[in-house]
């Protein structure tokens, strides 16, 4: 091959340089084209505006609104905030705590629910035995002191009287039965009255008896204290004037306690077998009579002392009976025992007893005016 001249060599070198420069420009054009392509659009719904045209970036301005010419430059909308920024701003917003009253109410409701459920569970795991209940109640009735206050008696007018198990008997019967839940809660209260709901539940049988009692915030007095105003006045059957006055806190407490006890006794006796109640009452009468027959003088002294604690003197008892206490028959002693149980448990007051019996006399003591009903005298 002939040797190339200097001019030919120079022409070949120039051609190679031109080819290299062309290749470099081509590579640079490819890189610019690749950089000009938009990045892929995030499928997450981060833009609430009009749809973005295909091929445009996320920050591209939206198309012109309908009704406007395309030569008007619309105001670009800002890009929506990122999810991380929204979460950060939400975390900075202060949260208000739950009200204290609502929290306390929820806690009290949960506590009451847990208490009721636990009582039912204990009753289910420890069922009562009917024979054991009968044995325990009859043993109670063999105690003379209990037997003397296990029955009450009060008149209903026209010389007629009613008698039945006393409040103390109902309490003892519930204790012997077991798995029983007595409750009393005020459901309404204002300046004139208070309504209390009394309920007794047999946890084994899941049976509940309820009774709502209305406690008026007034009491009756035979005389007014200095500065005390009477709401109303009336004349009783013995011709004496009684005044209705506003009850004090102690009067209201005594009155409410007596009414709640009577309502609870009524509800409890509905859950106790009737034949067991009758058998227990017969045994109580026999126990009380036997104890009085062994020592009549001691029985009369015991009754006189009991009435004295209720502010009823022995002279008042003699006026009520019409003769001396030493001349009381066993039947009259039994009536006085029932009278004492009724006055002590709130079934009656001594003033109500005198009014029902027609005896026009006042007691030497102050009595228990916060209690109601009446008990008559038997000859």
Of 296, 211, 201, 294, nearest to 259 by C-alpha is 211
Over the stretch 104-121, which tens digit does the pLDDT of each residue have?
Answer: 788 888 888 888 888 888
Parent domain of 214:
127-357
Over the stretch 240-264, which tens digit does the pLDDT of each residue have?
Answer: 788 888 988 988 998 999 899 999 9
Residue 27 has pLDDT above 80, yes or no: no
The pLDDT confidence band at residue 54, using thresholds 50, 70 and 90, is low
In a domain, 157, yes or no: yes
In a domain, 52, yes or no: no
| Mean pLDDT value of segment 140-144 | 91
Q: Tokens 């839940």 belong to which residue?
A: 181
Helix ranges, 199-329 (H): 249-269, 274-294, 296-309, 314-321
Counting the structural domains of the chain, the total is 1
Q: For residue 246, which phi and psi values (nearest 5 degrees)?
A: -70, 135
In a domain, 74, yes or no: no
What pLDDT, on a 0 to 100 scale, did the predictor assign at position 78?
A: 59
Contact residues for 244 (Cβ-Cβ < 8 A; gap 6+): 218, 219, 220, 230, 231, 232, 233, 234
In a domain, 194, yes or no: yes
Over the stretch 193-243, which tens digit does the pLDDT of each residue have?
Answer: 999 999 999 999 999 999 999 999 998 888 888 878 888 888 876 677 888
In a domain, 171, yes or no: yes
Residue 56 CA from chain centroid, whole number: 68
In a domain, 198, yes or no: yes
DSSP letter string over 293-313? HH-HHHHHHHHHHHHHHTT--
Q: CA-CA distances (angstroms) from residue 267 to 165, 174, 207? A: 12, 11, 11
Neighbours of 82 (CB within 10 A): 11
Over the stretch 148-185, which tens digit does the pLDDT of each residue have?
Answer: 889 888 766 666 777 889 999 999 999 999 999 999 99
Length of the chain: 379
Mutual angle of helices 274-294 and 167-177, in 10-degree steps: 120
Give me the torsion for CA of 320, 244, 343, 271, rounded to 10°: 140
In a domain, 20, yes or no: no
The pTM of the whole model exceeds 0.85:
no
Burial 195-225 (b: 16+ CB within 10 A, else e): ebbbbbbbbbeeeebebebebebbbbbeeee
The pLDDT confidence band at residue 316, using thresholds 50, 70 and 90, is confident
Q: CA-CA distances (angstroms) from residue 353 to 61, 170, 198, 263? A: 100, 23, 27, 21
**Cα 260 to Cα 73: distance, rounded to the nearest angstrom:** 85
Give me the torsion for CA of 302, 304, 308, 312, rounded to 10°: 150
Q: Which residue has the higher pLDDT, 43 or 218?
A: 218
In a domain, 197, yes or no: yes
Residue 122 has pLDDT above 70, yes or no: yes
Over the stretch 322-352, which tens digit does the pLDDT of each residue have?
Answer: 777 777 777 777 777 777 777 777 777 777 7
Of 216, 178, 182, nearest to 197 by C-alpha is 182
Token pair of 329, please? Answer: 């028959």
Phi-psi region of 63 (alpha: psi -120 to 50; beta: other; left: phi over 0): beta
The pLDDT confidence band at residue 283, using thresholds 50, 70 and 90, is very high
């Amino acid at each position: 091959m002939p040797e190339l001249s200097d001019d030919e060599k120079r022409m070949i070198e120039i051609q190679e340089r031109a080819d290299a420069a062309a290749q470099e420009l081509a590579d640079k054009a490819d890189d610019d084209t690749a950089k000009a392509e938009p990045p892929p659009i995030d499928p997450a719904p981060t833009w609430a505006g009009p749809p973005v045209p295909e091929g445009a970036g996320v920050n591209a301005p939206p198309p012109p609104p309908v009704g406007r010419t395309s030569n008007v430059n619309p105001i670009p909308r800002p890009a929506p905030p990122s999810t991380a920024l929204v979460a950060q701003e939400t975390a900075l917003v202060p949260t208000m705590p739950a009200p204290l009253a609502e929290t306390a109410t929820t806690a009290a409701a949960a506590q009451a629910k847990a208490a009721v459920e636990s009582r039912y569970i204990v009753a289910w795991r420890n069922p009562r035995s009917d024979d054991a209940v009968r044995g325990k109640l009859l043993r109670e009735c063999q105690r003379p002191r209990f037997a003397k206050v296990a029955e009450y008696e009060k008149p209903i007018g026209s010389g007629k009287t009613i008698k039945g198990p006393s409040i103390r008997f109902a309490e003892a019967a519930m204790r012997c039965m077991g798995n029983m839940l007595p409750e009393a809660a005020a459901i309404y209260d204002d300046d004139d009255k208070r309504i209390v709901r009394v309920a007794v539940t047999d946890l084994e049988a899941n049976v509940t008896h309820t009774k709502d009692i209305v406690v008026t915030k007034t009491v009756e007095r035979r005389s007014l204290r200095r500065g005390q105003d009477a709401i109303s006045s009336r004349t009783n059957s013995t011709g004496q004037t009684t005044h209705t006055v506003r009850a004090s806190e102690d009067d209201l407490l005594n009155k409410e306690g007596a009414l709640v006890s009577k309502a609870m006794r009524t509800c409890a006796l509905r859950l106790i077998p009737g034949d067991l109640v009758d058998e227990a009452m017969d045994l109580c009468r026999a126990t009380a009579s036997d104890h009085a027959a062994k020592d009549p003088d001691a029985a009369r002294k015991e009754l006189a002392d009991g009435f004295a604690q209720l502010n009823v003197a022995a002279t008042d008892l003699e006026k009520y009976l019409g003769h001396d206490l030493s001349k009381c028959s066993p039947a009259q002693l039994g009536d006085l025992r029932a009278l004492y149980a009724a006055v002590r448990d709130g079934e009656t007051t001594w003033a109500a007893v005198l009014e029902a019996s027609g005896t026009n006399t006042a007691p030497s003591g102050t009595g228990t005016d916060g209690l109601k009903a009446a008990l008559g005298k038997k000859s």
